[in-house]
Structure 1
């Protein structure tokens, strides 16, 4: 398998593999959405199949739920689980305090609900996602369809008084029609370039009528697992103030991962 993987995919794979080892029998685990989270679900499916791992997964999107079922993971809803031991998800950006921008895959609302209903949140990522200051990646804001243009204008007006470098906003599209989230909402992407006070911006955005949730995850992530293309993995724990480095061997042949390479 590794001969077909790009360095970035190798980094995502080893991060996912390392995080999968954190899942233990009997756990209730939030399963993230996105390309890196897909590697995680595949790794966990392999552990269910080959090692007899028994746990219950709570997906953060319909596509994650479908993938989890396909690889043999028992899927339940958050209402059934009530509370989770662990959520493992990707991120579009993270800073030194493990604050995140998420929502590039369009599932930020369910991702934030699941993450905050967990004892711990672990982010799996590659080194390119680490930034000094959040904001280079567009910040997604989920809004209800009714009056979305008014909500967009209100957001733009509010950004004038925020500590941000850019103020362009765009409605996320799916081809020629607006992108629709699993909850039936739209997403407005904020092209801010730099966010000086992420905590303040998150609070202000969520006070606006029409805004459902924003992609700033503040004080939610506990650990980040950073993968590298040479197999190195760094695990950073914000609560313990620790950083550990390891190296993982690649699995050369496993059809669980074949469709991720297409």
Structure 2
């Protein structure tokens, strides 16, 4: 691992590297989407090539599927896998109870389906994603294209009675056109600033016609692996109530990871 990585890239790498300890040969593993999850895929690919690791990966986006195949990981669909041993994914925010906001990369629907079809979900993140209360990161909501403006209005009206600080909603764009998810839907980003009752908000939003799913992951994550820019990594297990820490040393070596960017 090169020593000239930025602190944020070091943090993402050590989190991903530590998370590979959860993976054993023969497992069916959900592979997350995003810059931190990309480090994980490359780490697992190296283990497949150099250590004989045998796994079947279920990607949560077309981007992750392409990366996994390129890394030498066998890719299968969730329908083929039926159930997974483990999912490892990133997060845009996590709180002390390991509730999450996900969907900054636009893959929240597949990410939530894969995570809930797993015996265990492990989140990998740098320490900047830790918050006391969810909501600083805009909450993504996936909606069908038909009548999306009506759905947007209904969401904004529902926020009036919620324990949130903001109620601005925007359609996510990809240049001059609306962003389109792998499932052909749009994403509305809810700028709430603070979410006082995430469970209630999730239930209310998902009852609105046109909403497919929201980016609140409640009671899904079992552990979070937190990377720091100095090479430290912390593992918090919500089930056992334990916290462990270790430090990785960074050496000047050629590796597969130098081409990964945010």
In the superposition, the TM-score normalised over structure 1's length comes to 0.98
1:78-126 per-position Cα deviation (integer Å, ceiling 9, x unaligned): 0000000000000000000000000000000000000000000000001
Structure 1: distance between partners of 2:64 and 2:39? 11
1:250 Cα shift? 3.0
Supply the distance in 2 between the matched residues of 1:108 and 1:20 (Cα, whole angstroms).
22
Query: 99-108 or 240-249, which moves further after superposition?
Result: 240-249
Query: Once the two structures are superposed, what CA deviation does each residue of 1:176-221 show, in whole Å capped at 9, x if it has no partner?
Result: 0000000000000000000000000000000111000000000000
Determine if contact 2:92/2:103 at 8 Å carries over to the other structure: yes
Give the direction of change, closer, same or farther, for the CA distance of 1:157–1:44 in structure 2 (3 Å limit). Answer: same
Partners of 1:28 and 1:152 in 2: CA distance: 37
Q: Distance in 1 between matches of 2:172 and 2:62?
A: 19
* Aligned twin of 1:12: 12
Calculate the aligned-residue CA RMSD, in Å. Answer: 1.0
Q: What's the CA shift for 1:253?
A: 2.6
Match of 2:195 in 1: 195
1:41 aligns with 2:66: no
After TM superposition, give the deviation of residue 261 of structure 1 in Å. Answer: 4.4
Shift of 1:259: 1.6
Kindly indicate whether the alpha-carbon contact (under 8 Å) linking 2:34 and 2:90 is maintained by their aligned counterparts in 1. Answer: yes
Take 2:261 and 2:163, find their aligned partners in 1: how far apart are those partners?
A: 40
Which residue matches 2:99?
99
CA contact (8 A) 2:142 2:186 kept: yes
Describe how 1:169-208 pairs up with structure 2 within 5 A: 169-208=169-208
1:258 and 1:68 map into 2 onto residues whose CA distance is: 16
Residues 1-262 of structure 1: pairs in structure 2 closer than 5 A:
1-250=1-250, 252-261=252-261
Please say if residues 2 and 254 of structure 2, whose CA atoms lie closer than 8 Å, have aligned partners that are also in contact. Answer: no
Q: Using the TM superposition, give the Cα deviation of residue 223 of structure 1 relative to its aligned residue in structure 2, in angstroms.
A: 0.2
Alignment: residue pair count:
262
Aligned to 2:133, what secondary structure does the other structure show?
A: coil
Query: In 1, distance between residues paired with 2:61 and 2:19?
Result: 19
TM-score (norm 2): 0.98
Q: Aligned partners of 1:115 and 1:250: how far apart in 2?
A: 31
Partner SS for 1:4: coil
- Structure 1 unaligned regions, length at least 5: none
Q: Closer, same or farther in 2 for the Cα pair 1:251/1:83, shift >3 Å? A: farther
Q: Distance in 2 between matches of 1:251 and 1:158?
A: 52
Shift in Å at residue 3 of structure 1?
3.1
